[in-house]
Amino acid sequence: MRKIAVMLIGCLILTGCSNSGITQELYESVVAERDALTQKLESLEADVSNNIQHEGEKVSTDETESKETSETKESQNENVEVLAEYTLPDGIGWYTRHFIIVKNNSNETVDISTSSLAYSEDGTMVGAANGKLDALGAGCTSVLYESFETNAQISRYEMELNTSPSQYYKSVIEDLSFVQNDIDGGAVFQVTNNGKDSAEFVEGYALFFKENELVGYESTYFTDDDSQIKPGKTISKQVTAYEDFDRIEFYLTGRK
Domain boundaries, the chain: 2-72, 79-170, 172-256
Asked if the model's pLDDT at residue 21 lies above 80, the reply is no
Mean pLDDT of 173-180: 99
Condensed to tens digits (0 to 9), the pLDDT of residues 161-170 reads 999 999 999 9
State yes or no: pLDDT of 248 exceeds 70. Answer: yes
At residue 36, the pLDDT reads: 59
Average pLDDT of the residues in 56-76: 45
Is-same-fold flag (79-170; 172-256)?
yes
CATH architecture of the domain covering 79-170 = Sandwich (2.60)
6 or 184, which is more confident: 184
Q: How high does pLDDT run on average in the chain? A: 83
Alpha-carbon span 59 to 253, nearest angstrom: 43
Q: pTM for the full model?
A: 0.71
Share of the chain above pLDDT 90, in %: 69
State the pairing for strand pair 156-165/234-240.
unpaired
Q: Label residue 122 left, alpha or beta by phi (over 0 means left) and psi (-120 to 50 means alpha).
A: alpha
Q: Which CATH number applies to 172-256?
A: 2.60.40.10
Q: How far is the C-alpha of 227 from the C-alpha of 217, rounded, in Å?
A: 22
Q: d(Cα 120, Cα 210) in Å, to the nearest integer?
A: 23
Angle, to 10 degrees, between the axis of helix 2-17 and the axis of helix 24-78? 170
